[in-house]
Structure 1
């Protein structure tokens, strides 16, 4: 917990950054007991904290947002979660007054955010919300989408800045606010979620542009194929026949050290090209963590971040970390 005293300036806050990799759902908990023990402790604290609002920073994987229009930031006004691999379907309880005020606050401060009144989110949001909330509509939620899937992605500096501004907005609410950062550390995703110019076939390219509204690949088939691939990958990871060579332990630890060092401006000089080279396309998801931490720190600058868990040696095919603030 960040601040235990409710004041007239702002309420209490809580922060947790966790992975959303589909394999946490595909695999049984016994495969990674140490990870789940720490995760469950964060959930226990979250429920004890009992937030009045949850602000979650997540991303999409060509399920709800496609290349026909790829915004860098979206503040959801009305949203539904899809039934994708690793995700949990259902409607999010987004308080309209808070969501519209958040978007207006950002625009008035020169953040040209997009808004959506028909937002569809996938496991990049629903996986984390499910584990913390149970039912997706159990708590009021404000979803903030950050593009980490497609070129060009927002700078790490801009992710820090928008996170901090959302934290300032949250201060005006005088509520107990939980900030959740949803994503993995180093991992490779470009063979699953290609760029426009690297799509292996015209069929895949048509899908990632249109989301199944043209061409022969429907969204249902896209999501089903990913589910089949994840089941296969999980089996290979569990039986030891596949090793996720793309995990970069040194880079993961460098990132975690920088994230918890107290000065997020260190990320202002980080480049997309360097992160892609060192941590894979999945490593782009650190943007969600940077934004969430920036929001929590601006909400209460007394927050202290702790790395609760890190391992490059799980069966989840990502560098797995858990960070929280109290």
Structure 2
């Protein structure tokens, strides 16, 4: 088994709002560097843990975790198009293996993967179809959320399954860090918005455009120190990065939703994707990790972080 990990923040606003030229150049430059490293690694399989933003998963049936046995791009923000390259039999084997580890995971033959999945695949892998990919959704937006300790168990179970595989495997985690987009919540919005949260799949182009403009407006206001989005918390972000690099994943067994919401904002819950990805890698043994980039970028409403890691003992457990 050969395994490599990369976790990155995502922001669909990258193509619409531009921070200071040097800041943007450094962020995009690191994405390009990581993409080159992936091309050289030439993975035979990508496993990506990612959230959804009420584009593919809704309250009519909201799973805590879901493996896509078949998946296609949701089409939000015009990132990615068509089906993902999902090896169906392998995805089903993964579901059975994870359930055998006493982790209840849902599965879908019609997953819609939004920008949480598609943007990292586009930026790092070149496209959503270049490599075979197992997409694993983690609910990070629709309360109640799966506890972080359960996310650790999910990642560990996936990692145990992958440890027996012969392929060169790339594990991706997508989301966060501190991140507070204007995501509506049940119980605090009018009935028509509740209906969208329950069953808002495949919106009209006009409805999607209206929603995306609201997010863009918040990004512009946050950059001016205004608006409803919570300020980014660089101190919290850097603490998380240090925890991941140190391999101290036990911290997440007691991390609460209240801490994440208070420090990281509504989108800070996306850190669950990183937690699962690192737990997946750690299931194969000790790892070595490096923080490759960090900068809080208000215009993108994201503490933009990028971390890479690999097993400390490439041949497996010592």
TM-score using structure 1 length? 0.88
C-alpha displacement at 1:85, in angstroms?
1.7
C-alpha displacement at 1:111, in angstroms?
1.1
Alpha-carbon spacing, 1:86–1:253, altered in 2? closer, same or farther (3 Å): farther
Within the alignment, does 1:321 sit opposite 2:313 as a pair? no
Give deviations 1:4-45, integer Å, cap 9, x for gaps.
xxxxxxx21111111121112324694611111222111110
C-alpha displacement at 1:252, in angstroms?
1.1
CA contact (8 A) 1:24 1:86 kept: no
Within the alignment, does 1:169 sit opposite 2:161 as a pair? yes
Partner residue, 1:185? 177
- Within 5 A, what are the aligned runs for 1:163-312? 163-189=155-181, 192-199=182-189, 201-211=190-200, 218=203, 220-233=205-218, 240=224, 242=226, 245-299=230-284, 301-312=285-296
CA distance in 2 between counterparts of 1:212 and 1:262 reads: 38
CA contact (8 A) 1:75 1:115 kept: yes
CA contact (8 A) 2:80 2:119 kept: yes
Unmatched 5+ stretches in structure 1: 1-10
Q: CA RMSD in A?
A: 2.0
CA distance in 1 between counterparts of 2:179 and 2:61 reads: 25
SS in 2 for 1:304: strand
Partner residue, 1:103? 95
CA distance in 2 between counterparts of 1:93 and 1:12 reads: 20
Alpha-carbon spacing, 1:40–1:212, altered in 2? closer, same or farther (3 Å): closer
Partner residue, 2:74? 82
Within the alignment, does 1:21 sit opposite 2:6 as a pair? no
Q: Which moved more, 1:240-249 or 1:290-299?
A: 240-249
SS in 2 for 1:228: helix
Number of residue pairs matched by the alignment: 307
CA contact (8 A) 1:58 1:181 kept: yes
